[in-house]
Structure 1
């Protein structure tokens, strides 16, 4: 890890340790590379340590997004153990729904869960491998995916306890434990897959680093990328559809890729095909 930013008196390593050891983040296992990237971005705007610290903390709050909710990881693990012990797919789905409901992003999708995956896999076919990029709690949707146990499911998130729970779930489901704590903006995965999910994250990428989405999507080793974005704001008070369409098409406009839209009530999916 870089100790100081070139041309600045800011000690990036010390500031990274300070932020990650704070009560807000010390138990989340967030990669140091994430904080260092935020420090470097802030240092492009100012070399004042106090201002850099403030900017980084603001970005961290938006990145971790505690206001969206989260699972109780220990309780969720215990509930999954009990559900799988019953050998009842219905009990497993019940617990997965409880986990999905604990975060706003996946909670919004629950009413259309079966319809959602039926529609997107009708478009892509049944993949043998998936990248779930900035996955959040979406892997707990696996029971609604066709031939789920045959899928090599690579999931990436910056919250380490979340990744541990996902790997435990994959293990219980008889699947390889391929979830990984990784900041995909700083270190895009190099694994090749049939399909990549990038659900409800592109707008947050742009808030973190404007103009980053297109380059990121280009780096992903999948010929089919499913980018989804909400069609309304979190409060449900106004439409975001036109704004989010512009975000996607502006991001990929320089690439010779085809796009098909799949529109749901609260979410739009852009099925992007990179071609050969």
Structure 2
């Protein structure tokens, strides 16, 4: 069976923007099962009709949804429409208005809209000249709502979002915001640009395994002065959590002897963590 046809079948329409390499990495885990491995030695027609293959596709799409689809919206064409409007914007006020509409296209950034002003007022007290945004989604489009001027590096697993962000950054460059976006699975590679601050918003809850190890490796490899991590106060089904504490994370910060403070909003809370640079 051809690898391109296989990946396309696994992704389906909703996940076409995800990099093929990431899908292959997930698939490789399942190919360790001898039964699955033998299945892929059959002809294409047999594979597509096989119950085990359909079950496999369902499982992989479930993983893709947790990392990519959870905060996405259905009308992807709306983003391109807004990008076209952005290109015609005459001033920074119009840029901000359209950027707010862009942020509404992503569940996570839409929930954060009323909080960006206070959030960035706290963050900019650090006086950063560069920002790193991991698993960024469309969050980079919020930076124009602040007074930040400098370099912005976004890392995102969705190739579609990365292409969109690079077009966005190109348009706003004349306002002293120099941004670039990169396709990357941040759980596999910890090689990032150097920056004053690193954002990691609403990501850690998506990791089912090795969350603690991921954070340790991230902190060890980051070349940043501050790490800002956020957690949702809502469940995946968007219901309010009874207990929002992430005790494992606070315990880890204490174990690593890191200074931090917490910033709370209605639907999300943030840890502003001071890292120990070598």
TM-score (norm 2): 0.79
> Which stretches in structure 2 are left out of the alignment for 5+ residues?
37-51
**Residue in 2 aligned with 1:229?**
231
2:192 matched to 1:190?
yes
Deviation at 1:188, TM superposition (A): 2.4
Deviation at 1:185, TM superposition (A): 1.3
2:16 and 2:198 map into 1 onto residues whose CA distance is: 29
2:211 and 2:222 map into 1 onto residues whose CA distance is: 18
* Cα distance change on mapping 1:152 and 1:93 into 2, 3 Å: same
Q: Is the 8 A contact 1:134 1:158 kept in 2?
A: yes
The CA deviation string for residues 62-103 of structure 1, in whole angstroms up to 9 with x for no partner, is 2221564165332121021122xx22x222111111111111
Dislocated runs of 4+, deviation >6 Å: none
Deviation at 1:32, TM superposition (A): 3.1
**Residue in 2 aligned with 1:5?**
none
2:56 matched to 1:65?
no
User: How many residues are aligned here?
Assistant: 252
* Segment of structure 1 superposing worse, 49-58 or 259-268: 49-58
The CA deviation string for residues 42-72 of structure 1, in whole angstroms up to 9 with x for no partner, is 456x444236544322211222215641653
1:41 and 1:249 map into 2 onto residues whose CA distance is: 31
Trace 1:103-252 onto structure 2 (pairs within 5 A).
103-122=106-125, 125-146=126-147, 148=148, 150-174=149-173, 175-204=177-206, 206-207=207-208, 210-211=211-212, 212-233=214-235, 234-242=237-245, 245-252=246-253
**Residue in 2 aligned with 1:79?**
85
When the two chains are superposed, the root-mean-square deviation of aligned CA atoms in Å is 2.6
* Cα distance change on mapping 1:219 and 1:90 into 2, 3 Å: same
Q: Tell me which structure has the larger Cα radius of gyration.
A: 2
2:169 and 2:217 map into 1 onto residues whose CA distance is: 30
2:242 and 2:255 map into 1 onto residues whose CA distance is: 26
**Residue in 1 aligned with 2:276?**
275
TM-score (norm 1): 0.80
* Cα distance change on mapping 1:268 and 1:47 into 2, 3 Å: farther
